[in-house]
Amino acid sequence: MLGILIGLVLLMFLAYRGHSIIWVAPLTAMVVALFGGLELLPAYTDTYMTGFVGFTKSWFPVFMLGAIFGHLMDYTGAAKSIAKWLTGVIGPKRAILGVILGCAVLTYGGISLFVVVFAMYPLALELYREANISRKLIPGAIALGSFTFTMTAIPGTPQIQNLIPMDYFFTTPTAAPIMGITAAVFMFGFGYAYMVWKEKKLTAKGEVFTEPTNRAKVEEDPNRVLPNPFLSILPLLTVLLTLNILDWPIIVALLAGIVLAMALNFKEYKGFTKTVSAGALGSMTAIINTSAAVGFGAVVRAVPGFQSLTDLVMGIKGSPLISEAVAVNLLAGATGSASGGMGIALAALGEKYYQLALETGISPEAFHRVASLASGGLDTLPHNGAVLTLLAITGLTHKDSYIDIAVTSLILPVLSSIPAIILASLGIY
């Protein structure tokens, strides 16, 4: 138990300091192995790498195709067109709402949150400039629209955090729709209310829009003609409908979206090969980082102390959904990864929770939704890769904007599990 605790703390500390989890995860896994009495070399070459490779084998096609789809939507201007149309409809007076909804539409359509950040930031700048709102509020709005309800709560989302539980609970992407929608409304409603309150607070203090020092880096060609937003949204709808209505595998659904995105923007064909390559290459970092975290979890599961940890978590009083939420949240926070933390938790405890679902009469769909919701909670601690990327793109610091990111994409998602679990306890899924 002590080795697991030290390993987790060391993992979080080194990741927070900005070190790559690719080497941090195996190093800290060896700390766990040492305290657990495992032989170090076999613990790395066998136990760690088996967990690493297993996750890569299962999810690399989804990571790669998702990244390619997002890059194509960005390259063709389709993502920008959708976001610009939507923010235009909302208007500059509701700049924060426009940014949140723009991010939400893109992520719910299957575009990676990393791509969404790049697409939305220039538009957020325009809206905030016109509304004279402090740039410090941009990360919070983007985080709320990208890292929360469309990632884990709304039924049918093609984001990986909603797909991983399917393998453990034999469910579909639309699992527990009432629980998911309730949690989504909770996150969006309180998150937007917080952002509006924060805007009024900063404005009252005289903190309004200031031009970013990295403005030149985000300016785009003003003469570029963007594609029709209504045609641009078709690839997103294709992914959603084929996944949830036709019940196609996510790999096939993403391929359908990619093909349609290319067909609708065939005039841009000269850059397709380069864009596909960039997407494929970009997916490597994401899948390897997540697999590294899962490999760490494999070593944790192999040491004797893990049984004590399992007993501790499983012994939490009340609904087993509470212990599931705690387990996934803690591991997502430790690894700084929603998918990585959930992958570790469900690989270790998924079978037990499924058996509990059968024994207690709680629907496996409820376990699916709670696992998904919990993965999007503590994952956005300061060392999270998406948080670091968001702050880097916007040119802001943790001191400037992390409190807003924490409220909208950490505190509220953690709390959103409460109404979801209450509904499940009433037999409402």
Lowest mean pLDDT among 60-74, 125-139, 382-396, 409-423: 382-396
Lowest mean pLDDT among 39-48, 138-147, 332-341, 356-365: 332-341
- How many CB atoms sit inside 10 A of residue 304's CB? 12
Percent of the chain with pLDDT over 70: 97
Span 54-77, mean pLDDT?
89
Q: What are 427's two structure tokens?
A: 């037999």
- Per DSSP, the residues of 338-360 read HHHHHHHHHHHHHHHHHHHHHHH
Contact 133/93 with Cβ under 8 angstroms? no
Span 354-371, mean pLDDT?
96
Give CA separation, 283 vs 16, 338, 428, in Å: 22, 16, 37
- Residues 184-238 have pLDDT tens digits of 999 999 999 999 999 999 999 999 999 887 544 445 566 778 899 999 999 999 9
Span 237-247, mean pLDDT?
92
Q: Mean pLDDT: which of 137-151, 332-346, 385-399 is highest?
A: 137-151
Q: What are 74's two structure tokens?
A: 């960005």
Q: What is the mean pLDDT of the chain?
A: 90
Q: Mean pLDDT: which of 193-197, 332-336, 378-382 is highest?
A: 193-197
pLDDT at residue 391, as a whole number: 86
Give CA separation, 135 vs 53, 143, 145, 294, in Å: 41, 14, 16, 36
Element (H, E) at 301: helix 272-302
Is pLDDT of 158 > 90?
yes
- Note the Cα 48 to chain centre separation in Å: 24
Q: How far is residue 315's CA from residue 354's CA, in Å, rounded to a whole number?
A: 16
- Residues 68-127 have pLDDT tens digits of 998 898 899 888 888 888 888 887 789 999 999 989 998 999 887 777 887 788 788 878
Query: pLDDT higher for 21 or 346?
Result: 346
pLDDT at residue 216, as a whole number: 40
Q: Mean pLDDT: which of 43-47, 217-221, 327-331 is highest?
A: 43-47
Is pLDDT of 385 > 90?
no
Contact 79/119 with Cβ under 8 angstroms? yes
Lowest mean pLDDT among 178-192, 216-230, 308-322, 341-355: 216-230
Percent of the chain with pLDDT over 90: 59
Q: How far is residue 170's CA from residue 163's CA, in Å, rounded to a whole number?
A: 11
pLDDT-based confidence at residue 270 (cuts at 50, 70, 90): very high
Task: Provide the domain count of the chain.
Answer: 1
Is pLDDT of 309 > 90?
no
Q: How far is residue 156's CA from residue 170's CA, in Å, rounded to a whole number?
A: 15
Name the burial class of residue 79, with classes exposed (0-12), middle (13-18) and buried (19+) by CB atoms within 10 angstroms of its CB. Answer: buried
Lowest mean pLDDT among 19-33, 114-128, 278-292: 114-128
> What distance separates the 2 farthest-apart alpha carbons in the chain?
64
CA-wise closest residue to 107 among 59, 73, 77: 73
Q: How far is residue 47's CA from residue 43's CA, in Å, rounded to a whole number?
A: 5
Q: How far is residue 79's CA from residue 236's CA, in Å, rounded to a whole number?
A: 10
> Whole domain around residue 193: which residue ranges?
2-425
pLDDT at residue 317, as a whole number: 84
SS3 content of the chain, % helix, strand, coil (to 5): 80, 0, 20
Q: How far is residue 153's CA from residue 151's CA, in Å, rounded to a whole number?
A: 6
Is pLDDT of 253 > 60?
yes
Name the burial class of residue 138, with classes exposed (0-12), middle (13-18) and buried (19+) by CB atoms within 10 angstroms of its CB. Answer: buried
Span 124-138, mean pLDDT?
90
Is pLDDT of 239 > 80?
yes
Cβ neighbors of 345 (< 8 A, separation 6 or more) are 297, 324, 327, 328, 331, 332, 371
Contact 329/414 with Cβ under 8 angstroms? yes
Residue type, 115: V
